[in-house]
Amino acid sequence: MTKIIGLTGGIGSGKTTIANHFKSLGIPVYIADEEARKLMQSDEIVKAIKETFGSDFFEKDVLNRAKLAEAVFNDPDKLKELNAIVHPAVKKHFKQWLLEHNNFPAVIYEAAILFESGSYKDFDLIITVTAPIETRIQRVIARDKTSREQVLKRMEAQWTDEQRISKSHFVIENDSIENSIKEIERILKILKIRQNES
């Protein structure tokens, strides 16, 4: 039976880097945000977004994701509406993906809002990636060319590390790649033991 491992962490924690390291070790990884981005270009979702949010977020029928993100991050009700459109589509897509990878002992599902969306209940194990707040802020500013204020606003919309850790089976402190790799190897060792026991 394939173990489904949820991998999460706050914005700027470096969870995608960690996910990619798991991938390099031969573990299939599903990056929910990337898949959501692709799915948001599908006719079905474009139609639903237009019906809910109007045509202002489209340029020549192409969704302006940055504009939509800015609007929903500042409005919890709009964020809920968007999630109600995108999350079921991602869930359905992941189920299909899982069927194609069910011969692996474990797969990773990486998502920023695993706890906030309630989807953490669907996983066998949860790994939370953490990093010092200042490191996270600087990473996001550099990556998204955004302001400190915007990053803090996005952080406030997410669970705290403490909240995530309290519901996780493992924690990776991603302050350096060396430490993170050691933690990943330690977790895989434990999971192998569990795999053999189950």
Binding positions for ATP: 12-17
Phi, psi of 63 (to 5 degrees): -70, 130
107 membership: H or E segment, kind and range: strand 106-110
| 111-120: b (≥16 Cβ within 10 Å) or e | bbbbbbbebb
Report the binding-site residues: 12-17
Q: Three-class SS of residue 31?
A: strand
- CB-based burial label for 169 (10 Å; 0-12, 13-18, 19+): middle
- CB-based burial label for 121 (10 Å; 0-12, 13-18, 19+): exposed
